[in-house]
Structure 1
Amino acid sequence: MNMSISGPPRSLVVSSYAGEWASGICDCCTDMKDCCFAFWCCPCFACWTTKRFGQCLCLPLLDIFGCIPPVTMSMRASMRHRYGISGNLCRDCVCSTFCLPCVWCQMSREMKNRTLPIVLGDIVHR
């Protein structure tokens, strides 16, 4: 039997934390790897997180041209909508304007918390 797989394995998204973020905006240090990446190179981290969310890799670079980061704000709102997290655009705007690296870290943690591993035999992929 010949089986072919096209493309990388896809992750299953689960809304087990519906209603609230899985972690707070100031819980950056719970994932030190992402925290350091976001602190030392927030634009690269934002692009990497955006790509993992399924959007254009360079989209966050548009935030450079505004005083309120519109892409960060819209990504946060989109993630809230996708995962059923409560909140509003006003809070998204405030967080995106004053806590930019923390917002990107929170969104990265949220995606990690909501993704189940894919098991193929004895190999686990994330």
Structure 2
Amino acid sequence: MPVTNQPGRYELADFQSGMFQCHHDIKICLLGSFCVSCLGCIIASDMDECCLCGMDMAIRSVYRTRYNIKGSMCNDCVAMSCCRPCTLCQLKRDIDLRKQQNIF
């Protein structure tokens, strides 16, 4: 049988919720609104990283790479610089959804 796909090629996905869809999980939204550093630590803990890494754009880049999510380091930097709470809420919602789907 001939090989029709090159090894290492894969489809890129999107985050499972948008950056401004905070209303999809009110608890995460409140945490991101009132204690963004706590949310960053929770995300870092979920990803087995140091708590200080949870607030950095690198955590989003690592997550995107791990789950083949569309984007770039430049996009991650802009998102974290412009709206860190919304970006972290999106990341936490995506982590929770992947946990529910048993793919985290």
Which of 82, 85, 88 is equivalent to 2:72? 88
Same amino acid, percent of matched pairs: 31
Cα distance change of structure 1 residues 117 and 21 upon mapping to structure 2, 3 Å threshold: closer
Verify the 8 A CA contact 2:53 2:59 in the aligned structure 1. Answer: no
In structure 2, C-alpha distance between the alignment counterparts of 1:87 and 1:34, rounded to whole Å: 23
Indicate how the Cα distance of structure 1 residues 80 and 44 shifts in structure 2: closer, same or farther if over 3 A, else same: same
Unmatched 5+ stretches in structure 2: 1-11
Return 5+ residue gaps in structure 1 as ranges: 1-17, 64-70, 119-126
Q: For residues 43 and 81 of structure 2, what CA distance do their matches in structure 1 show?
A: 18
SS across alignment from 1:114: helix
Deviation at 1:27, TM superposition (A): 0.7
Root mean square deviation of aligned Cα: 1.9
TM-score (norm 1): 0.66
Higher strand share: 1
Indicate whether 1:49 and 2:43 are aligned.
Answer: yes
CA-to-aligned-CA distance 1:38-96 (integer Å, 9 cap, x gap): 10011111111111121112334xx6xxxxxxx2x111111100111011111111101
Q: Which has the larger radius of gyration?
A: 1
Number of aligned positions between the proteins:
92
Q: Answer 1 or 2: which has greater helix percent.
A: 2
Q: Which position in structure 1 is the counterpart of 2:53?
A: 59
Check if 1:111 corresponds to 2:102. no
TM-score of the aligned structures, taking structure 2 as reference length:
0.79
Q: 1:29 aligns with which of 23, 28, 33?
A: 23
Q: Which runs of 4+ in 1 moved over 4 A?
A: none
What is the CA–CA distance in structure 2 between the aligned matches of 1:96 and 1:52, rounded to whole Å?
Answer: 19
Aligned equivalents of 2:47, 2:14: Cα separation in 1? 18
